[in-house]
Amino acid sequence: MATILAALLISYLIGSVPTAYIFGRILKGIDIRKEGSGNVGATNALRVLGKGPGITVLIFDIFKGFLVAFFLADYFSARIPLIDPQNTHIMMGLACICGHNWTIFLRFKGGKGIASTFGVLLGLSWRIPGLGAVIAVLVATWFVVFLISRIVSLASVLSAVVFPVSSFFLKLPPVFTALSLLLSLFVLIRHRANLIRIFQGKEPRLYFGKPKT
């Protein structure tokens, strides 16, 4: 039991590292929670800090999830023989995402979990047959919606909705399909304010060059 708790705690703490907040403090001496959308995530970092820092934050947040779900979970699964290794990977990945969404370092107000979830899914794809195909569907959905709308939150929400559907139709293990429902719910909850702005037509669009008029 102590090993399980240690695994979950370490996973949560790694996920809790507020990358965008740290970069904001180091690069501009600002609290990113008080700039832009106020979100502690890669999209707001891109808007507030610029392309380079924003992309770096994205990579770090993806890596957090991958580090936990692939490397760290491998280490602990070998030391928790009473639990199926696949389930150990899933639990630790979930703890990492919770850390990112509700970080202890910022009074439990974190990011929206898209990048960290993607990293966790990449880490789990080595353990769960068929997950690679699901990831491909999600990435394709995200890019198509984003290229059409230029709204990051809309692309993220629709990808989250597609997640459990694709997991079911591609016949992933029931435990993972249940996880996909939970993670989809996380995304919807974290994007409540964005959904309101989308319906009101007020959600900002993201352009990497000169915005179209």
Would you state the pLDDT for residue 183?
A: 96
Confidence of residue 1 (pLDDT cuts 50, 70, 90): confident
| Domain count across the chain | 1
pTM: 0.93
Decide if pLDDT at 211 tops 60.
Answer: no
Q: Is residue 36 part of a domain?
A: yes
The per-residue pLDDT for range 92-151, each reduced to its tens digit, is: 999 999 999 999 999 999 999 999 999 999 999 998 999 999 999 999 999 999 999 999
End-to-end Cα spacing for the chain? 58
Residue 127 lies in a domain: yes
Does residue 165 lie within any of the structural domains?
Answer: yes
Match 């000169």 to its residue by tokens: 210
- pLDDT at 207 exceeding the cut of 90: no
Residue 46 lies in a domain: yes
Nearest to 44 by CA among 52, 54, 56: 54
> Which amino acid is it at 92?
M
Q: Give the residue numbers spanning the domain of 22.
A: 2-200
**Over 90: is that where the pLDDT of 208 sits?**
no
Judge whether 206 lies within some domain.
no
Whether the pLDDT of residue 210 is over 70: the answer is: no
Q: Does residue 56 register a pLDDT over 70? A: yes
Main-chain dihedrals φ then ψ at residue 123, nearest 5 degrees:
-65, -40
Report the distance separating Cα 52 and Cα 63, nearest Å.
Answer: 16
